[in-house]
Amino acid sequence: KNGLAQLRDDFVGAIPPWLPPLILGAPTGTGARAGTGAPPLPNHSTNGQRQKNSLFSAILRVLIGTALWCLLESIWSSSVLWWTSLSYTQSPHNLIILHLAQISGPNTITAVIVAVNGLIAEAFLQGRRKKEEGRRKREEGRGKKEEGRGKKEEGISKNEEGTFIPDFRLLSVAFCLCLSLHLIGFSLYSRPLDDRADKALKFGVIQGNIPNEIKFDSRGWRQALEGYTQGYEKLVSQGVDAVLIPETALPFIWTNEYERQNLSFYQAILDKQVMTFVGGFGQRDRALTNSLFAINGAGNIISHYDKIKLVPLGEYIPFEEWLGRLISRISPLDSHLVGGDFNQIFETPWGRAIVGICYDSAFTEIFRNQAAKGGLFILTASNDAHYTTSMMVQHHSQDIIRAIETDRWAVRATNTGLSAFVNPHGETLWISQKKHYEVQAHTIYPRDTKTLYVRYGDWLTSVLLLFSAWGWGFLLMTRSGLRKT
């Protein structure tokens, strides 16, 4: 029983006091050691030894907190309800630190943020602990009649007299870590792209600006067909190699040859014979897919991508495999949306492309998987008409990180904004206005490089967990040895 209690105290002592409130929003308590609730180290050790143990314990708590935060984000991002990572707070403005995503994905950036802020928090917690110790020693000194009332104990520093001074060692570690990682990010950001001119592709995007209120009725269909057909012809006249239009821009079943034959946009493709990537619906048995179709100049669908991450309740009903019969009975719809396979490959005349449709952009593994399988550039199609301006910016920021971590050019086509062209360094070369009809062309370059993240995925989280376990074990053995002595 005593052994289990001690193990519990050691485990609690290893958890950073600043981590629970960050995750749960709960206030921290105060314990015997900087609010951890764990017992203090034995007092018979030397002052220098206590300082070393204190520094090691603080850094270990930061390491464990960072590992746990990255683990939680990894688990959360594998669920259906995932939108933002702590790493996205640096996008789109801190492109230097965003380049660390090429090392181990977004969790690299998350780890930097948690570690640096954790070290600063520990520095202030150490300062608070020393202040409390100084106040306690001063009060004990006043009670010693032989030393004289109010006389300061020998060896008590100014910090121990009650003055609050953050731990300079931990602040120095935080500063050096932040600076060194920015230098690494800068070195990645400064590398020239070295794109070959003979690989250049001139892409065009059309932002149709069709409000959701009319998107799926006859008025919206007419406006969409007119706007996208005129935009396509304009881009062809500018000499583009391909045209990308947004998610469900033309909400028809494009796998039905007879249905697409009568569309003015499809006739324009047959007439101008320029490769087009069309957002529409596909059909799988009684179900529909939210898809992007690659249609060549002859009007044939040479490849298609089905949206993988459907929005819960908005595009599908959770647990439908168990509730399917009930839903079929109560739903007035003859069909429903189904998600695509994770291991899809999207072929184009210029090689494989990396594709994401709307909500897919939040899931880094979808893009990493396609890049690892030979995707040469990124195409994302979205309908952000229901988004506020801040959410549009967030969505664009996600695609910026996708471009950086895979080292790929990215083309974004959205219904109402923000459409854009982004280079592999995350620089937005052109971005549309929101709620405007826009037609724009820009040159991109297919790339076959493979970053460390594309090759090995998120290896950093596993390393952090491994070192956290080793550090905790080492601390347990150290404390056990001190107790015996």
Structure tokens at 82: 């995932």
d(CA 440, CA 30): 59
d(CA 320, CA 327): 8
Query: Are 361 and 403 contacting, i.e. CB atoms less than 8 angstroms apart?
Result: no
CA 56 vs. chain centroid, Å, equals 30
d(CA 104, CA 452): 7
Strands 201-207 and 242-244: parallel
Query: Are 352 and 370 contacting, i.e. CB atoms less than 8 angstroms apart?
Result: yes
The DSSP result for 436-484, as a single string, is S-EEEEEEE-------HHHHH-S-HHHHHHHHHHHHHHHHHHHHHHHHH
d(CA 40, CA 42): 6
Rg (CA), the chain: 29
Strands 378-382 and 351-357: parallel
CB atoms within 10 A of CB 484: 6
Catalytic positions: 247, 307, 358
d(CA 357, CA 339): 11
> 3-state class of 253 per DSSP?
strand
